[in-house]
Amino acid sequence: MASFKIEDARKNNLYGVMHMKQWLKNIRKGYGKKLVSIHAWNAWIVVILAVTGLMLVGGFWRELLGIGRVWLKWLHIIVGLAMLAPVVYYLLLSKKHWKQLRNRPWQRANTIVVLALLVGWLLSGIVLWQFKLVGPRWSNAALLIHDLLTWVGLPYIIYHSITRTRWLKDPARRAVKATTTVAEGRNMVNPTAAPSENTTPASIVSTDSKPTTKESLLHQPEKPQPLYTRRAFIRSAVGVGLAVTLGPTFISWVGRNLNIDNSIDSMLENDPNRMVPLPQALPASSPPVGGGAEGHFRVYTVTPIPSFSNANWSFRIDGLVERAQVWNWEQFVKLARTVQVSDFHCVTGWSVYKNTWEGISLKHLLTQAGVKPEAHSVKFYSGDGVYTDAITMDQAQMDDIMVAVMHDGKPIPADLGGPVRLVIPQMYAYKSVKWLNRIELIDSDHIGYWEERGYDKDAWLTGATQARS
C-alpha cells in the first residue's frame, strides 16, 4: 500500500512539473512583444514615481497640495508596489531573454543594472511604507538607499529609455525582434534546416493561425514597429519631468538637500536670524553630553524659512492660564535651562540620533504660568504664521518635552527651527513645531497643520513609554 502512495506522489509531482513547464512555455510564447510591453509599462511606472516623488519632497508642493499631498503619497506607494508586476513578469521571461543576449555583454550588463535599480527601489520603498513596523534605523537606511537610487538611477533609466527607443527602430541592432525574418521563415518551412550565417540568433518568431510559406515571407511587408509611438511617450514624459524638476521643487531640493556642506556649522554661518546676545551653552552641552548628533537633518518646510531679530521676536504663554507671560529675546535667553539627549525621528523615514538639546522644560513653563482647570490641550504656534499643532494636557506632563534654544552646544539655526523650537522626543517630528513663539492653553482639541491634511493624530513612536492620553 505504501509503495502505491509513493508512486502516486511521484506521478503527482511529475504532473506538477510538467504543468509548470507548459505554463512557462505558454507565458514565453511571443515573448518579444511581451518584452516590448514590459519595457513600456515599466517606463511609465518610473516616470510616475519620479514625478510624484519629487513633488513629495518639495516645499513648494507641500504647501500648495495640502491634503492632496497625502493622496499623492498613496499614489506613489501604490504605483511603487505595481512595479512588482513587470519585474516578476520579466523574470518569467528572463531565461529565454538571457540566451538571446549571450553575445551582447553590454546589454546583459544593462539588464542587470536596470533590474538592480527596480528591485532596490521596490524593497527600500516597502521598508519606508512600513516604517513604523521596521523601526527608525531600518527606515533611515532605506531612505538613503531610495534617494541614492533615485538620483543615480533616474538619469540612467531616462538615458536607457531614449537609447533603447532608437535601437528598437534599427533592426540591425535589435536583440529581440517583434517581426519574422526571412531566415526564420525558412526554418519554419523546414525546421531541420540549419540557420543561415546571417541569421540573428536573438530573433523571435511571431506566428499566427495562417500557414507561412517561403514566398509569403519574401513578399510580406514589414509590420509597423509596436514601439514607434515610444518616441512620443519619451517626449511627453521627459517634458513633464523637466517641468517639475526644473520648477520650484527641484531648485528647492538642490538648494537644501544637495548642499555638500549641510552641517549645523554651515547652517549657522548662513543663518538669517540675528539674535543678540547668543545663548551661552551649559557645561553639559558643550561639548555635548550626547557625544554629538549622529545623522543629518533634512530641511522640510511648508512656508519659506522665516528670519528673526530682537526687534520682531517675542515668546508668550497665554490662554487658559493664571498668569499670561511674554518675554523678549533678552529676557527669554536668561531663563534657567536644562540639558537632555534624545533621538529625532521624521515621519518620512529619516532620523538623527543622540541630539543634545538645551532649553526649558514645557512642564516647568506651564507650572510657572499656572494651568486653569478647564484647560484641555496645549496649542503651539510657529513663527511662520501658518503652522500649528497641539497635544493634550496629560501628554504635556512628559518630562522630556522641551522648548529648546540650543542643539549640541550651539544656537539652533533657522533651517532647523531656531531660534526656539519645540522638541517632543517620543513623537514624530511634525509635532515638534519649528520657530516656536507662542503656547496657548485651550479647552478643546486642536487639529494640527499636517493632521488637518491627513497625517495621523497619533504621532507616537513605536516603543514610546509615557502617557498616551
Residue 115 lies in a domain: yes
Flag whether pLDDT at 293 surpasses 60: yes
More confident site: 179 or 300: 300
Question: Which is higher by pLDDT, 9 or 278?
Answer: 278
pLDDT exceeding 90 applies to what percent of the chain?
A: 34
**pLDDT band at residue 367 under the 50/70/90 scheme:** very high
**110 CB-near residues (< 8 Å, 6+ apart):** 160
Could you give the CA distance from residue 64 to residue 44 in angstroms, rounded to a whole number?
A: 25
Same domain for 281 and 237?
A: no
Mean pLDDT computed over 59-70: 68
Q: Judge residue 255's burial from the number of C-beta atoms within 10 Å of its C-beta, 0-12 exposed, 13-18 middle, 19 or more buried.
A: exposed
Question: Which pLDDT belongs to residue 20?
Answer: 60
Q: What is the pLDDT of residues 118-146, one digit of tens each?
A: 889 899 989 888 877 777 778 878 888 88
Residue 68 lies in a domain: yes
Contacts of 12 (CB under 8 A, 6+ apart): none
Mean pLDDT of the residues in the chain: 77
292 falls within a domain: yes
Query: In the chain, how many domains are there?
Result: 2
What are the backbone angles phi and psi of residue 314, rounded to the nearest 5°? -150, 165
Mean pLDDT of 274-280: 95
- Within 8 A by CB and 6+ apart from 379, the residues are 319, 388, 389, 390, 439, 440, 441, 442, 446
Residues 287 and 163 grouped into a single domain: no
Q: Are strands 410-411 and 402-407 parallel, antiparallel or unpaired?
A: antiparallel
Same domain, 342 and 368: yes
Please report the pLDDT score of residue 225 as a whole number.
47
Cell of 446: 486642536
Verify that 160 and 17 share a domain, yes or no.
yes
Indicate the burial class of 408 (C-beta count within 10 angstroms; 0-12, 13-18, 19 or more): buried
* 245 and 276 co-located in one domain: no
Residue 290 lies in a domain: yes
* Domain containing residue 311: CATH number: 3.90.420.10
More confident residue, 456 or 383: 383
Q: Give a yes or no: residue 215 inside a domain.
A: no
Unique residue bearing C-alpha cell 510657529: 382
Instruction: Evaluate whether residue 460 is within a structural domain.
Output: no
Domain presence at residue 258: no
- Which domain covers residue 83, as residue numbers? 2-205+223-253
Domain shared by 79 and 158, yes or no: yes
Q: Which range in 170-174, 252-256, 418-422 is most confidently predicted, on average pLDDT? A: 418-422
Q: Clarify whether residues 136 and 274 are in a common domain.
A: no
Residue 455 falls inside a structural domain? no
Question: Is there a single domain that holds both residue 414 and residue 270?
Answer: yes
% of the chain surpassing 70 pLDDT: 68
Q: Which residues contact 431 (CB under 8 A, 6 or more apart)?
A: 389, 391, 422, 424, 448, 459
d(CA 115, CA 127): 18
For residue range 405-449, what is the model confidence (pLDDT) as tens digits?
999 999 999 999 999 999 999 999 999 999 999 999 999 999 999
Q: Are residues 297 and 234 in the same domain?
A: no
Q: Is residue 160 domain-shared with residue 282, that is, in the same domain?
A: no
Same domain, 289 and 243: no
Same domain? 230 vs 282 = no
CB-CB contact of 304 with 415 (8 Å): no
Strongest mean pLDDT among 216-220, 270-274, 346-350? 270-274
